[in-house]
């Protein structure tokens, strides 16, 4: 009897020891996946050149310049797609050209006038909205931005959430694209990130998301501290830029955007907050600087990418 108990004790102990010895080996074989980085390990986010930054350069040249200067992606405007298609171009082929150059399209701007104030007006707007979704999906974009317009000071956020839900469903089921709501700092209606969040959250859709923009956070007086209180997955795409300190906030227009790091915005803290909340999607350099439009677009693209690198390095993310 004693021999039997000793044998059982030995076997149990041996089994336990074997299990303990094997655990480090198992754990070593399943490490946590490393976070992906871009720009030769400089950035935790892919960096996109928004095509507005180098207007009035022709579309195919914008794509070539983005690739040659080292960007990860190019963010386009729906009017560019419309003009390309009307000129006889094939948008799926355009998407292939973009991919062949090592780029991708994170977002298209956008769905204009897609949230009118009445049911009848909304139904009438859907023909143009569907056409814009189709073009955006054809070029291979992940997202398309929905601007809560026509602009009006009494924009009803519940109405906006309901219509945004409709747009999400149409985009997903008919075109395989995700619609992201965008706030615009100088609009009378949806000009703050809190309003855009209300529309996105109250749409009650798991794919709801928004387009953020450093300029619009400042111009619409949202500020930057709200970024700490949302999840990174809520942001589909983040437009990146800066503003000068010598123009009153209320008087700023798109033309006042400058290179990131050259102005007064708290971009270092914003980048640190984005890393902390788990944002992993694209940072897109979006400017409408008229002086830059007069310059060599390749120089502007190269300078912009270096400014993005400098911001990220300063934030130590």
Is residue 18 assigned to a domain? no
Residue 22 placed within a domain: no
Domain CATH number, residue 49: 3.20.20.150
Could you tell me if residue 48 is inside a domain?
A: yes
User: What pairing do the DSSP bridges indicate for beta strands 210-213 and 178-182?
Assistant: parallel
d(CA 268, CA 97): 34
Per-residue pLDDT of the chain (317 residues; tens, 9 = 90+): 444 434 444 444 444 444 444 444 333 455 556 789 999 999 999 999 999 999 999 999 999 999 999 999 999 999 999 999 999 999 999 999 999 999 999 999 999 999 999 999 999 999 999 999 999 999 999 999 999 999 999 999 999 999 999 999 999 999 999 999 999 999 999 999 999 999 999 999 999 999 999 999 999 999 999 999 999 999 999 999 999 999 999 999 999 999 999 999 999 999 999 999 999 999 999 999 999 999 999 999 999 999 999 999 999 99
- Give the residue numbers spanning the domain of 192: 38-315
255-to-34, 241, 291 alpha-carbon distances in Å: 39, 11, 9
pTM value? Answer: 0.89
Separation of CA 40 from chain center: 20
- The answer to whether residue 16 sits within a structural domain is no
Bridge partners, residue 284, by sequence = 48, 239
The pLDDT value recorded for residue 35 is: 81
- What pLDDT does 31 receive? 57
Evaluate whether 241 touches 258 at the Cβ level (below 8 Å): yes
244 within some domain = yes
Does residue 17 form part of some domain? no
How many structural domains compose the chain? 1
Helices (H) and strands (E) in the chain, counts: 11, 8
Please give the C-alpha separations between residue 203 and each of 164, 185, 210, in angstroms, as whole numbers. 6, 21, 12
* 317: nearest Cα among 262, 275, 258: 275
Is 32 contained in some domain? no
């Amino acid at each position: 009897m004693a021999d039997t108990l000793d044998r059982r004790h030995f076997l149990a102990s041996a089994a336990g020891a074997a299990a303990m010895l094997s655990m480090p080996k198992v754990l070593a074989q399943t490490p946590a996946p490393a976070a992906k980085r871009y720009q030769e390990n400089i950035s935790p986010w892919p960096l996109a050149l928004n095509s507005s930054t180098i207007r009035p350069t022709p579309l195919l040249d914008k794509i070539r310049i983005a690739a040659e200067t080292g960007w990860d992606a190019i963010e386009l405007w729906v009017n560019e797609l419309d003009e390309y298609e009307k000129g006889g171009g094939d948008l799926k082929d355009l998407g292939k050209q973009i991919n062949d150059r090592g780029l991708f399209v994170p977002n298209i701007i956008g769905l204009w006038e897609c949230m009118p104030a009445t049911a009848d007006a909304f139904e009438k707007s859907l023909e143009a909205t569907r056409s814009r979704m189709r073009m955006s999906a054809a070029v291979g974009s992940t997202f398309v931005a929905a601007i809560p317009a026509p602009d009006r000071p009494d924009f009803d956020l519940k109405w906006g959430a309901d219509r945004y839900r409709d747009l999400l469903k149409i985009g997903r089921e008919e075109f395989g694209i995700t619609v992201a709501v965008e706030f615009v700092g100088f609009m009378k209606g949806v000009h703050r990130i809190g309003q855009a969040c209300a529309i996105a959250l109250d749409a009650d859709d798991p794919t709801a998301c928004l387009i953020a923009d450093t300029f619009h956070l400042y111009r619409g007086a949202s500020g930057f501290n709200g970024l700490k209180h949302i999840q990174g997955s809520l942001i589909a795409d983040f437009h990146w830029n800066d503003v000068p300190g010598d123009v009153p906030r209320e008087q700023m227009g798109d033309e006042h955007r400058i290179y990131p790091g050259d102005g007064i915005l708290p971009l270092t803290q914003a980048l640190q907050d984005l890393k902390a909340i788990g944002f992993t999607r694209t940072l897109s350099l979006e400017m409408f600087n008229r002086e830059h439009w007069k310059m060599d677009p390749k120089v502007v693209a190269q300078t912009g990418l270096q400014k993005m690198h400098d911001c990220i390095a300063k934030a130590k993310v």
